[in-house]
Amino acid sequence: MDQPGFKKAALFNQLIDNKSVEMEVENMAVMLHRRGEMVYATGVYCPHAEVRLDPRNTAGDLIICKAHGYRSNIKTGECLEEPDMKLNTFPTVVEDGVVWIKF
């Protein structure tokens, strides 16, 4: 990886397709979402009222907050219920079987 600012987050083959997992990368909690050959990274807090999201509570590209049901897109961060709110998203690169994240 020769792009500045990227941190090693996981091995690609440890991630299960269509599943999301929470992990720490350099003391920061993040969520990784594998969708096919792509891996998306988001923050772990709901944009509505900062309740911690559950990585098991996803449907396709959406993660659904158990507090009030707000749905956020894991690829874009867009919150369907409140367009002015956004789930944090972070750039990722998968290279030679390693998932890199920048935040």
Tell me how far CA of residue 74 lies from CA of 2, 93, 96, in angstroms: 26, 15, 23
Nearer to ligand FES by Cβ, of 77 and 93: the residue is 77
Contact between 100 and ligand FES by CB under 6 A: the answer reads no
Contacting ligand FES within 70-89 (CB under 6 A): 70
Torsion sign, CA atoms 3, 25, 51, 75:
positive
**Cα-based angle 20, 44, 83 (whole degrees, multiple of 5):** 100
Nearer to ligand FES by Cβ, of 19 and 68: the residue is 68
Nearer to ligand FES by Cβ, of 8 and 68: the residue is 68
Residues 101/25, Cβ–Cβ less than 8 Å = yes
How many residues form the binding site for ligand FES (CB under 6 A)? 9
Q: Which of 7, 21, 22, 51 binds ligand FES (CB under 6 A)?
A: 51
Provide the residue type at 13 as one letter.
N
Residues in contact with ligand FES by CB under 6 A are 46, 48-49, 51, 65, 67-70
